[in-house]
Structure 1
Amino acid sequence: MHVPRAAKQERSEQTRAQILEIALEEFSARGFEAVSLRDIADQAGVNHAMIRYHFGSKEALWKESATYLFQRLQVEVPPLDPSSGQASLDDLKEYVRNYVRYCARHPEHARLMVQESITGSERLKWVAETFIQPAHERTLKMITGAQEAIGLAEIDPLTLLYMIVSVVQMPYLLTAELKYTHGRDALAPGAVEAHADAVIWLIFRA
C-alpha cells in the first residue's frame, strides 16, 4: 500500500521526537557513558540503525537532545525581554511560576545538567556556550532591573540567579528522597503550585 510522502514525513518526525524524549530520560538518569544507542533503541521500540539514520553518533544524539530540551524550555517558559522596559512584578512572579512548573514537568532537564557538571564534560561546555550563557545574560539583566525597580535582594546577580535555580529545581532532583523520607509527592499538582508560591514569596517578600 502506498503511503503519502506527507504521512511518511510526519511519522518520521514523530519517531525522531520519541527518540529524543527517551534519550533525554536515559542520559539524565544514567549519564552519557552508561547509555548506549541500543539502550535507547530498545526503549523507543526501533531498530538500532534507525537512530544512526536520524542522528549518527551517540555524541550527536546527546547534542540534539540538549537542543530539543532548551528549545522546549524557551517555548514553555517564554523569556521576558529586558530590552522592552522593566517587567512588572506580576510578570516576574508569573515567569518564576512557569519556571517551577517546567522543572516539575521535566525533571530530566536539571538531572541532565547535574550529570554533565559532575565531570565537566566537553558536552557541558558546548551546551553552556550555546544555550545557557545567552539565557543567563537575559536573566541577569532582568534580575538587575528588578533589584533597582522593586528592591529585590541586593546580592550579586549571578549568585542570586543560582540561588533561585537551586531553590526551584531541588525538589525535582530529590523526588525519591522526599517520598521515602517524608511521604511527600513533589510532583503532585498541589505540591508544585505550593512550591511555586513558596519560591515567589522567598524571592519577592521584600
Structure 2
Amino acid sequence: MSTPRVAKQERSEQTRTEILQSALDLFSTRGFAAVSLRDIAERVGVNHAMIRYHFGGKEELWRESAAFLFERLAKEIPPPAPAVEQSPVEALKRYIRGYVHYCARHPEHARLIVQESIEGSERLQWVADHYIRPNHARTLKLIEGSSMPAGLVGLDPVMLLYMVVAIAQMPYLVTAELQFVHGRDVLTEEAIDAHAEAVVKFIFRD
C-alpha cells in the first residue's frame, strides 16, 4: 500500500508527464511561437505559475518536452545491437516495424520536428545535437551493415534513411486528409500492422 509521500510523488510524476505531453501536443500543432505557458496549464488543469516554477520559461519547457519525447522513443523501440543480432537485415526490419507503430502512437514527434525544421530554429539545433544525430548514427551503422536489395545498393545511406522515415511517418502526419479523401482510418491496429509490413516490403522487396 502506498504511503502518503509515495502517493504524492506518483501524482507529481503523473502531472509532470501530463504537462510534457500537453506541451508536445501544442508545440507540434501550433508551433512554438503560438503557444503560451497558460495554454499548456489550461489544458492540464494546473496553475501556469507551477509550470514556470518546475520548468522555467517556455524555451526550457520545450527542451524538457523534446528530451521526454526522445527518451520515450528509446524506451519504446530501443535500437538493435548489430553485434548481438544473428541477422542485421532482420534486426533492421524489426526496428522499422517498431518505428511505424511508434509513429502511429506519437504523431507529435514528427510534427514537432517538422515545425522546427520549417523555421530552422536554435531549438532544432539543440535537439539535433543531443538526440537526432546520435540516433541517426546508430541507424546508419545498421543500414550500412545490412545486405540491402540490389536496387538500393549505392544509394546515399543518409537519404535512404530519410526515405524510410518519410514513408513510415506520412500516414500519421496526414490522418485527416486520408479520412476526408479516401475514408481511411489509418489508426486502427490492423491498418498500422498493414502499413508496417508494406514499408518493409517496399524497402526490401520481399
Whether contact under 8 Å (1:175, 1:185) holds in the other structure is: yes
Partner of 1:121: 121
Secondary structure of 1:146's counterpart equals: coil
Specify the alignment match of 2:90 in structure 1: 90
> 2:62 maps to what in 1?
62
- Give TM-score, length-normalised by structure 1: 0.93
Q: Which residue does 1:145 correspond to in 2?
A: 145
The separation in 2 between residues aligned to 1:195 and 1:107, in whole angstroms, is: 15
Aligned amino acid, residue 153 of structure 1: L
- Is the CA contact 1:152–1:203 (under 8 Å) kept in the aligned structure 2? no
Q: Tell me if structure 1 keeps the 8 A contact 2:88–2:145.
A: no
CA contact (8 A) 2:88 2:142 kept: no
Query: 91-100 or 26-35: which moved more?
Result: 91-100
Q: TM-score if structure 2 supplies the norm length?
A: 0.93
How many angstroms does 1:59 deviate by?
0.4
Return the alpha-carbon distance in structure 1 between the equivalents of residues 43 and 171 of structure 2.
Answer: 27
Corresponding residue SS for 2:78: coil
Matches within 5 A, 1:1-206: 4-84=4-84, 87-147=87-147, 153-154=152-153, 155-205=155-205
Structure 1 runs not aligned, ≥5 long: none
Alpha carbon RMSD of aligned pairs, Å? 1.7
Offset of residue 49 of structure 1: 1.0
Partners of 2:151 and 2:67 lie apart in 1 by: 32
SS of 1:135's equivalent in the other structure is helix
- Give the CA deviation at 1:152: 7.5
**Inter-partner Cα distance in structure 1 for 2:77 and 2:92:** 12
* Equivalent residue letter for 2:129: E
Instruction: Give the number of equivalent residue pairs.
Output: 203
Q: Is the 8 Å Cα contact of residues 147 and 153 (structure 1) preserved in structure 2? A: no
Deviation, 1:4, is 2.7
Instruction: Give structure 2 stretches of 5+ with no counterpart.
Output: none
What is the identity percentage for the equivalent residue pairs of Structure 1 and Structure 2? 62
SS of 1:33's partner is: helix
Q: 1:5 to 1:130 in 2, by over 3 A?
A: same
Contact 1:146 1:152 in 2 (8 A): no
CA distance in 1, matches of 2:182, 2:117: 28
